[in-house]
Structure 1
Amino acid sequence: MSVNDPFARRPGAANFTVTSTIVPEGAALRPGQMSARLPGGKDACPQPSWSGAPGGTGIFAATVHAPDAPTGFWHRAAAGIPATVAGLPESAGDDAGSGLPEGAIRLPDDARAARLLCTATPAGHGPHRYFVVAHAPDLEHIGIPAESTPAHPGFTMSGHALGRTMPTATAEPPSREPYT
């Protein structure tokens, strides 16, 4: 589906395997992956693992994007993950920056939080998709400041994409009052 797909017009890239023990492809996010502002929410980032990346991959990046949010929303971006790393633990890049391998950077989300801010779909907005993306560019270094926006690594990697894979999860929080 290309509706609100931030990667639909990017240059083609080989697919490789991304799995998660927490969020299987097409499944709903678990309550822990919901915003801590919702009942049962913990802002716990999905755990991705990857394999079969194209030869020549220099680094990896991992992002979580919600294309169905009213303006689209980048929930997570970690870049500069060494090519020898095959995944990230749940909630890597939390408030303390734990779980990210040496050399990797976490970028603030679209709310400028340095940690993962999980789904908080507006009341009555219906289900949203969440693209849990692993990127495999031919870059040895991402070369961007850690305070960059999540769009910055995507722009930097766009002409260097050897591989990209995009498992999709969904979420529709319980009814609640809109944020004030």
Structure 2
Amino acid sequence: MTAFTLRSNDLAEGQPKEKRFSFNSFGHDGDNVSPQLEWANAPEGTKSFAVTCFDPDAPTGCGFWHWQVINIPASTTSLEQGASGKLAAGLEMRNDYGFNGYGGACPPEGHGMHRYQFTVWALPVEKLEVPDDASCALVSFMLNMTSLGKSTITATYTR
């Protein structure tokens, strides 16, 4: 069986990501561009995908959700660089910055290296049943409870 994989032209496992993928507020001047992602070999029975970006190192006690896109059709196998806010299909949920879409890296200055886990989730449903204003925690719970499989690239960022 071939593994479900995620790859990116913009991110490399364990490597720092470029400033253009970082946030452009809270005293930081990145470009807030979502990275290019593509996936292959989804598990049998996949009816949709979700894409998330999570920082487990944020000083919150519960991490920080930078991006959650759900209800991506099973026929989609990639997101172009800068796709956030321009998706033809899929629903961008409210991130922990408080808006719908991609919010780039913005660790506190001097806080050290943070990990950014970009994950594609294969789901057995065409539509994840969550309210349009669902919290990041609820979306994450539903992804973990229904996923057929997932693949992750962990990039880093330091300020």
Q: Normalized against structure 2, the TM-score is what?
A: 0.90
Q: Classify the secondary structure of the residue corresponding to 1:166.
A: strand
Give 1:15 shift: 5.2
Aligned residue identity for 1:148: A
Residue in 2 that maps onto 1:65? 54
Q: 1:165 is matched with which residue?
A: 151
Q: Distance in 2 between matches of 1:101 and 1:26?
A: 30
Residue matched to 1:130: 116
Task: Give the unaligned 5+ runs of structure 1.
Answer: 1-13, 174-180
Instruction: Give the SS at the match of 2:138.
Output: helix
Corresponding residue SS for 1:157: helix
The one-letter amino acid paired with 1:119 is A
**1:54 CA drift (Å):** 0.5
Amino acid at match of 2:50: A
Structure 1 residue 115 displacement after superposition: 2.5
Q: Distance in 2 between matches of 1:65 and 1:15?
A: 22
Taking the TM superposition and a 5 Å limit, the aligned residue runs for 1:31-180 are: 31-37=19-25, 38-39=28-29, 41-71=30-60, 72-94=63-85, 98=86, 100-102=87-89, 104-173=90-159
- Residue in structure 2 matched with residue 176 of structure 1 by the alignment: none
Distance in 2 (alpha carbons) for counterparts of 1:101 and 1:55: 24
Deviation at 1:21, TM superposition (A): 0.6
CA contact (8 A) 2:68 2:101 kept: no
The number of equivalent residue pairs is 154
C-alpha RMSD of matched pairs (Å): 1.6
Higher strand share: 2
Equivalent residue in structure 1 for 2:4, among 7, 16, 23: 16
Residue ranges of structure 2 left out of the alignment (5+ in a row)? none
Flag as ranges the 4+ runs of structure 1 deviating above 4 A. none
Q: Counterparts of 2:77 and 2:88 in 1: how far apart (Å)? A: 11
- The SS at the match of 2:148 is strand
Any conservation in 1 of the 2:122–2:149 contact (CA below 8 Å)? yes
Matches of 2:41 and 2:154 in 1, distance apart?
A: 19
